Homo-oligomer: A and B are copies of this chain.
Amino acid sequence: MQAAPRTRILILGGGFAGVSAAMRLRALLRRDPAVEIHLVSNENYFVFQPLLPEVVACRIEPTHIVNPIRQLCRGVVVTNAEVQRIDLAARTVELVGADARRVQTLGYDQLVIALGLTMDLSRIPGMREHSLPIKNLGDAFHLRNHVLQRLEEADVEPDERQRRRLLTFVAVGGGFSGVETGAELNDMVKGVLRFFPRAAATGHRLILVHSQPRILNELRPELADFARRKLEQRGVEVLVETRVRECTAGGVILGDGREIEAATVVCTVGNSPHPVITGSALPQERGRVLVDECMRVQGLSGVWAVGDSALLPDVKRGGYCPPTAQYATRQGKRVAENIHAALRGGKARPFVFGGLGQLAIVGHQCGVAQVMGLMISGRLAWFLWRTVYFMKLPGVRAKIRVGIDWALDVFFPRDIAMLDVRRTERLGRAHYKAGEVIIRQGEIGDRFYIIESGEVEVVRTGPDGAEQRLAARKAGESFGEVALLRGMPRTATVRCLTPVDVITFSREDFRTLVGSSEVFRVVFEQQMQAMSPPAGEPQPPQISNIASP
């Protein structure tokens, strides 16, 4: 993987922009063995985000709106890894694969940055801990099961107030995602409550909290107001010009101090730039990469940025292109054509797109739409919404499945199976045989270990290759903290002297503990004296990125 024998077009990101760029490039360069199209994605599938709310609402099965990227982009080299760092000078990208043991470096001739945005819930106290985002498939899957779990609990909860809390749902954010998720959740709970007789007696509440005076403010006022009326007709309580000040285990506290006791808080606000971009030397504004109308990054030849992570001038309407799937998909296609042109000595063409319009679902069989100047609402808009997304859904299999889900949805009650995928224990555990190596010098440190039984030795291999024994550790003792605390590769190798059972913590967990518990901190600072690394040990910056993804 290290050396690229041929021209490598490296695409970072497996979202709308990245995948459409890869597919288009594949089509344009099909007959060119001298070019490698290489896509890096932290998930091995492409998820069709616009349908996430329907997944949450149990209308579509979670697995039906995903497409394995390897199958979607045949002939494209796909690497399933997390991007760590972009080195513009060396024209390389640093990746950490799923096993997280090693940083891999990948060179590029052409680079397409399509990393999208990330979620930052840390701005509102408690939001990160207690609210459920709805950004990727895992989120939707989790939210779906979380809601069903609350219904199960409410059904056996004797205390009236607790039951009401379990049946209160808050959606934070009145944009498309917030409105659609709120509307779908509301319909869903209404629809399935009858299967929970003891909970049904209490009934549910769904509250949509929005900071602006008007929800869906990307739409025309009339349409936005229609949407709001429809939501309210269906029982959704809409609070506008209201901020969430704090989110707790018990519910949310609003800006004016009012409290809403709720066991479910869905958060659709808090989009924030990708750390790899903010951590890079790329020209940027508020974390979005500055590009010209051809999606070229100024001053960097062969570097392009598209989708939500790019700040691309909107040639047609002025300002910048909105961060929507519509735009991202087309930008991906166009950047592919521009790269193809660049390779063939052709001329890059600007991205010109006015948008086809906007659609939102505000409840079952009811939507609002603004298409080519027209305003549509009600069932027609809903139908349009489904038609458009059905057509956009990539892959025949996905189309068939979603189509069938929609058909079944008409004839059968929703699927309220609460899929228990919490198989793994919270704490990692591992068993090693005598002589086996648990951590290896030079690897990225990604775990911390406490020995349950057995004994290990800590050894370091010097530059001369000679092994030096630093320490031994027995049951009740721990190891692996140096790399985690100092943010550097493993400074030593740990080998089992006997069969060994260990408990393991992820880097993230370990740092949290040390950062918050005096007991931990004291203990580990002591231990570290015993095996502090040689001076001048490299301290790769990317480690810290890994620690807080």
Chain A residues in contact with chain B, CB under 8 A? 1-2, 43-45, 61-64, 66-68, 70-71, 77, 79-81, 97-99, 104, 125-126, 128-130, 136-139, 141-142, 148-149, 152-153, 155-158, 195-198, 246-250, 253, 396-397, 400-401, 404, 408, 412-413, 415-433, 436, 438, 450-453, 475-478, 499, 501, 503, 505-506, 508-509, 512-513, 515-520, 523
Contact = CB atoms under 8 A, between A and B. Distances in A.
Given A104-B156, A506-B426, A248 B432 contact: yes
B400 A408 contact: yes
A128 B452 CA distance: 14
B138 A422 contact: yes
Given A71-B413, A125-B431, A248-B436, 14 more contacts: A66-B417, A67-B417, A68-B415, A71-B195, A77-B197, A98-B153, A246-B431, A248-B430, A426-B427, A427-B508, A453-B516, A476-B516, A478-B519, A519-B519
Contacts of A512: 427, 429, 452, 503
- Interface of chain A: mostly helix, strand, loop or mixed: mixed
A508 B503 CA distance: 12
Given A97-B153, A431-B248, A436-B249, A424 B142 contact: yes
Given A63-B63, A503-B516, A519-B519, A431 B126 contact: yes
Contacts of A400: 404, 408
A452 B516 contact: yes
Residue from A2, A253, A478, A512 having most chain B Cβ neighbours under 10 A? A512
Given A71-B413, A516-B503, A149 B427 contact: no
Within the oligomer, what is the number of copies of this chain?
2
Nearest to A152: B80
B517 A478 contact: yes
Contact of A250 (B420, B423, B436): B436
B416 A68 contact: yes
Most B CB contacts (10 A, CB to CB) among A104, A417, A475 go to A417
Contacts of A63: 61-63, 415, 417, 419
A421 B142 contact: yes
B149 A98 contact: yes
A97 B151 CA distance: 12
Contacts of A396: 412
